[in-house]
Amino acid sequence: MIAEKTQIPKTLIIFLDIESLRTGQELENIYEEFYDLVKSAGATIVGESSSKQRAPSISNFINKGKLDEIYTLVETTCAELVIVNHQLSASQARNLELKLKVRVIDKTELILDIFASRATTHIGKLQVELAQLNHLSTRLIRGWTHLERQKGGIGLRGPGETQLETDRRLIGHRIKMLKSRLDKAHKQKQLNSYSRKKSRNKLVALVGYTNAGKTTLFNLLTNSKKLAADKLFATLDSVTRKNIDPELGPILFSDTVGFISELPAQLIESFKATLDELKSADLLLHIVDISDIDHRQKEKEVNKILEELGLQSIPQIRVNNKSDIKGVNHKKSNKKSNEVWISAEKNTGIDELREIINIDLFNGIYRGWISLEASLGKIRAQLFRMGCVNEEKISPTGQIYAHIHIGQDELDNLIGINGFALCEDKDIILQT
């Protein structure tokens, strides 16, 4: 038997501006983002309709005159799916489907579909499923007309539970189970965070608007090979890797899911296990696509979400990425204002970024030789756990000499210990 290929539905996109104060350029940017979201989902766009209305209709969200126009457009384009750029209530979505005689989804369902296709890790898949079920639980009635019928027949007679109630109960059980699994994952992440703090590694999290270039920079700093694609939500699963750059101190870098304007609240809640990792970060690198003409508004959106997550107090470096693109007004990096201009793709401006990171986290970096008495084995082990040791030599008498790179603050704490000292090459004695 030959497997049937999945059919990509012919899609009609509906863009509505509900009486906003946005400028023409801002509206164009929002429209382009919505269009890119639909394309990212793999839809075949056969038509589009945009309009402005004062307020959404309570029953259909879309005003009657515009709805008639969309119905005609559905028929002429043979569209099988309609996507609206707003969040619809369950009744509004159902009424639209009855009027248009095709499936209708909103922005939330669209993003969830993209998330489902991007999730690769176990935790990521659990988070997506939880978000989908939370969304589905409020609109079960849309799916089937039989849901209001009670169970009946031989062996099925009971207290009169409707099929709709049964489905809601089953979904409720599944949601409870998913939350339990994610809680366990969250506790594991907390243990990992405790272990990291014990090893004295700093955590730097990369945050920013979707498609700003976070993963490209992450790969550059950690020598990783994560998928970095020019599409929305290419990264969904949070990944943490150890720094391999010798110019940086003992750091762990974490790549996170990109944000987007008007990100639904239930999505943020479902991805709590991922986003909570940001709370233990010592520093945030806010990656901004400086080539985007709407980058200031997107930067505000990211900061708004960070504030909602209670992360506004964590130190932040503004990283203006894609500064190599033609037309960008490139400026000099500013250490005082914690702002740096880079191109992750071209590997430019990275030296300035390293310097600012080191100053923010460690008050600068010491690179040189130290000597340790043989009795300071715990200090030696600590330095190795931190990944600070570049080279080590041991004299016949047991004196330990190590070439290290370490934060100035950490070094200041060690200098006061008896048996610990700074030294130079000429001070290293390997012969009796």
Using N-to-C axis directions, what is the helix angle for 90-100 and 64-77, rounded to 10°?
50
**Taking Cα atoms as reference points, which of 340, 31, 33 lies closest to residue 210?**
33
**Taking Cα atoms as reference points, which of 173, 132, 90, 136 lies closest to residue 269?**
132
Dig out the tokens for 198 from the structure.
């014990």
pLDDT at 134: 81
- If you count DSSP H runs as helices and E runs as strands, how many of each does the chain have, helices first? 13, 14
Distances 174 to 126, 137, 251, 320 between C-alpha atoms, Å: 11, 11, 38, 42
pLDDT at 267: 66
Please say if the pLDDT value at position 143 is more than 60: no
pLDDT at 192: 66
Least confident range from 88-92, 147-151, 344-348: namely 147-151
More confident residue, 4 or 215: 215
Dig out the tokens for 156 from the structure.
């099925």
pLDDT at 71: 93
CATH code (residue 232)? 3.40.50.300
More confident residue, 6 or 406: 406
More confident residue, 427 or 274: 427
Question: Residues 274, 219: one domain?
Answer: yes
More confident residue, 221 or 243: 221
Task: Report the percent of the chain where pLDDT is more than 70.
Answer: 77
269-322 pLDDT, tens digit per residue, is 656 556 666 788 889 999 999 988 888 888 888 888 888 778 888 889 999 999
66-112 pLDDT, tens digit per residue, is 999 999 999 999 999 999 988 888 889 889 999 999 999 988 888 88
Per the structure, the count of domains in the chain is 3
- The secondary structure of 37-90 as a DSSP string is HHHHTT-EEEEEEEEEESS-BTTTBS-HHHHHHHHHHHHHHT-SEEEESSPPPH
Query: Amino acid letter at 275?
Result: L
**Confidence band for 27, pLDDT divided at 50, 70 and 90:** confident
Q: Average pLDDT, stretch 114-125?
A: 76
More confident residue, 423 or 122: 423
Within a domain: residue 384?
Answer: yes
Lay out the sheet containing 44-53: strands in order across. Answer: 44-53, 10-18, 81-84, 103-105
Please say if the pLDDT value at position 340 is more than 80: yes
Please say if the pLDDT value at position 431 is more than 70: no
Query: Amino acid letter at 369?
Result: W
Which residues, 6+ apart, have CB-to-CB distance to 411 below 8 Å? 366
Distances 320 to 40, 122, 363 between C-alpha atoms, Å: 25, 32, 22
Question: Residues 405, 266: one domain?
Answer: no
Backbone angles phi, psi at 321, to 5 degrees: -90, 165
Element (H, E) at 377: helix 377-385
377-426 pLDDT, tens digit per residue, is 889 988 888 778 888 988 888 889 999 888 888 888 888 888 899 987 76
Which residues, 6+ apart, have CB-to-CB distance to 430 below 8 Å? 393, 395, 396, 401
380: domain range?
365-427
CATH code (residue 57)? 3.40.50.11060
By the 8 A CB rule, do 281 and 241 touch? no
Residue appearing with tokens 């008639």: 68
Within a domain: residue 166?
Answer: no
Question: Residues 294, 371: one domain?
Answer: no
More confident residue, 430 or 64: 64
Residue appearing with tokens 């095709």: 102
Please say if the pLDDT value at position 123 is more than 80: no
Please say if the pLDDT value at position 206 is more than 80: yes
Please say if the pLDDT value at position 1 is more than 60: no
Backbone angles phi, psi at 385, to 5 degrees: -60, -35
Q: Average pLDDT, stretch 356-362?
A: 86
Within a domain: residue 93?
Answer: yes
Please say if the pLDDT value at position 35 is more than 60: yes
Within a domain: residue 5?
Answer: no
Backbone angles phi, psi at 197, to 5 degrees: -65, -35
How many other CB atoms are found less than 10 A from the CB of residue 13? 24
240-281 pLDDT, tens digit per residue, is 787 777 778 778 888 877 777 766 666 666 565 566 667 888
Question: Residues 358, 373: one domain?
Answer: no
pLDDT at 406: 85
- The secondary structure of 25-36 as a DSSP string is HHHHHHHHHHHH
Question: Residues 85, 207: one domain?
Answer: no
User: What mean pLDDT value characterizes the chain?
Assistant: 79
Question: Residues 358, 256: one domain?
Answer: yes
Among the three residues 362, 396, 414, which one is the final residue of a domain in this structure? 362
Please say if the pLDDT value at position 333 is more than 80: no
Burial class of residue 84, CB neighbours in 10 A (0-12, 13-18, 19+):
buried
Question: Residues 355, 220: one domain?
Answer: yes
Among the three residues 81, 105, 129, which one is the final residue of a domain in this structure? 105
Among the three residues 332, 362, 392, which one is the final residue of a domain in this structure? 362
Distances 383 to 144, 250, 376 between C-alpha atoms, Å: 63, 10, 11
**Confidence band for 153, pLDDT divided at 50, 70 and 90:** very low
pLDDT at 169: 80
